[in-house]
Amino acid sequence: MSLGDFLKRIFTWWNGQTVATQFFTWRFGQKVGEDAQGNIFYRNADDSRRWVVYNGEAEASRIEPDWHGWLHRIWDTPPTERPLPRQSWEQPHQANLTGTMMAYAPSGSIRRSAPADHKDYEAWSPE
């Protein structure tokens, strides 16, 4: 690990786990499971605390609904022991892409590489 990576882990929380979180996880954490994105879920011995160590950037919308429910105590059994039943019409979980380059941009948006040409638009100007 380089000095830059070590300093990032000490002073930032959005680049994976900090040194303090890593120590707490090592000391008290019991691994419960891992999701498809590589996020790892933990709890302590008496299940009074539950947490996630993100694989990469810490972005809460990257957590799938079944793990979200377990983290927030909507249900007690983790998805590794009893997965949620899936419906045939359900789409796979997708993180919130707002604010990223992959966010939705409708036609005519200035964020598109080739914005639509609006020939029917005439800008208003005061006379």
pLDDT, tens digit, for every residue of 28-87? 999 999 998 899 999 999 999 999 998 888 888 889 889 999 999 999 999 999 888 888
Between 19 and 76, the higher pLDDT residue: 76
The residue extents of the domains of the chain are: 3-71
Q: Give the residue-averaged pLDDT of 85-106.
A: 84
Between 57 and 113, the higher pLDDT residue: 57
Distance CA 11, CA 103 (A): 29
Distance CA 53, CA 41 (A): 6
- At 23 the pLDDT is 85
Q: What mean pLDDT, rounded, does the chain reach?
A: 83
